[in-house]
């Protein structure tokens, strides 16, 4: 089974740990202690049927996070649709960090907690706002999910696996700079 390293980034409480735990362990808690760094392994099947072992990295610790970028093949940049600040921080905090450490690694923009739109109609960010930002930051895709309901979670990791493998196939035989490397 082919390994693929996938790193999640985003503000605290954006739902990163919840979607990772749900996908990797089929497990969801109401509350999680703050994450320093966690790693999960999970199987995924790409769009062409290739079996992949995703190495999912859940990061938070400011001092150690850069070490998790080494050999990253795909990034999931997450924000909560119920928290406009988390979307703003994609541009202000997370993109500059990605451009510094992983300028050539493809990313998927992920809007989490979409189940909260039913309860907070006017305060939640819209699908269009996420799609607009994805276009501006040149994300491969914009996807949404809810760990609470499970909606969209599996699809995010299938797209991540497919995108990483497609990039790997396209780069085969070339001097690739598509993975993150710290010097």
Q: For 115-179, give the DSSP string.
A: GGGGT-TTTSPPHHHHHHHHHHTT-SEEEE--TTT-TTHHHHHHHHHHHHHHHHHHHTTS----S
What is the mean predicted confidence (pLDDT) over 57-77? Answer: 82
73: three-class secondary structure by DSSP: coil
Q: How many residues does the chain have?
A: 183
Parallel, antiparallel, or unpaired for β 51-59 and 74-80? unpaired
Examine the pLDDT at 23 and tell me if it is beyond 50: yes
The answer to the question of residue 102 being in a domain is yes
Q: What integer pLDDT is reported at residue 75 of this predicted model?
A: 97
The answer to the question of residue 87 being in a domain is yes
Phi first, then psi, for residue 113 (nearest 5°) are: 60, 35
Can you give the residue range of the structural domain that contains 133?
2-170
What is the mean predicted confidence (pLDDT) over 125-147? Answer: 97
The answer to the question of residue 118 being in a domain is yes
Indicate the average pLDDT of the chain. Answer: 88
- Percent of the chain past pLDDT 70, that is, above it, reads 85
What is the mean predicted confidence (pLDDT) over 53-81? Answer: 86
The answer to the question of residue 59 being in a domain is yes
The enclosing domain of 105 has a CATH number of 3.40.50.300
Examine the pLDDT at 140 and tell me if it is beyond 80: yes
Q: How far is 49 from 72, CA to CA, in rounded Å? A: 22
The answer to the question of residue 178 being in a domain is no
Range from 60-64, 106-110, 174-178 that averages highest in pLDDT: 106-110
What is the mean predicted confidence (pLDDT) over 59-82? Answer: 85
What is the dihedral angle through the alpha carbons of 81, 39, 24, 119, rounded to the nearest 10 degrees? -20
Position with higher pLDDT, 161 vs 173: 161
In 3D space, the residue among 5, 41, 3, 45 whose CA is nearest the CA of residue 20 turns out to be 41
The answer to the question of residue 95 being in a domain is yes
The answer to the question of residue 181 being in a domain is no
What is the mean predicted confidence (pLDDT) over 149-170? Answer: 95
Two structure tokens written together for 178: 């598509």
Return the half-sphere exposure (C-beta side, CA atoms, 13 A cut-off) of residue 75: 31
Banded model confidence at residue 119, pLDDT cuts 50, 70, 90: confident
Specify the number of domains making up the chain: 1
Residues 6 or more apart whose Cβ sits within 8 Å of residue 72: 5, 6, 7, 57, 102, 105, 179, 180
The answer to the question of residue 32 being in a domain is yes
Cα-atom radius of gyration of the chain, to the nearest Å? 15
Q: What integer pLDDT is reported at residue 66 of this predicted model?
A: 78
């Amino acid at each position: 089974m082919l390994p693929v390293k996938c790193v999640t980034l985003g503000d605290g409480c954006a739902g990163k740990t919840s979607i990772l735990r749900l996908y990797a362990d089929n497990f969801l808690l109401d509350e999680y202690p703050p994450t320093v760094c966690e790693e999960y392994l999970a199987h995924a099947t790409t769009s062409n049927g290739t079996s992949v072992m995703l190495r999912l990295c859940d990061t938070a610790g400011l001092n150690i996070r850069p070490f998790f970028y080494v050999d990253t093949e795909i990034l999931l940049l997450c924000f909560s649709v119920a928290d406009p600040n988390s979307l703003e921080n994609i541009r202000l905090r997370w993109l500059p960090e990605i451009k510094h450490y992983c300028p050539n690694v493809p990313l998927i923009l992920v809007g989490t907690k979409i189940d909260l739109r039913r309860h907070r109609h006017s305060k939640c960010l819209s699908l269009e706002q996420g799609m607009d930002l994805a276009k501006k930051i040149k994300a491969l895709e914009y996807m949404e999910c809810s760990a609470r309901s499970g909606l969209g979670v599996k699809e995010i990791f299938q797209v991540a696996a497919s995108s990483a493998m497609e990039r790997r196939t396209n780069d085969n035989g070339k001097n690739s700079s598509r993975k993150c490397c710290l010097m």
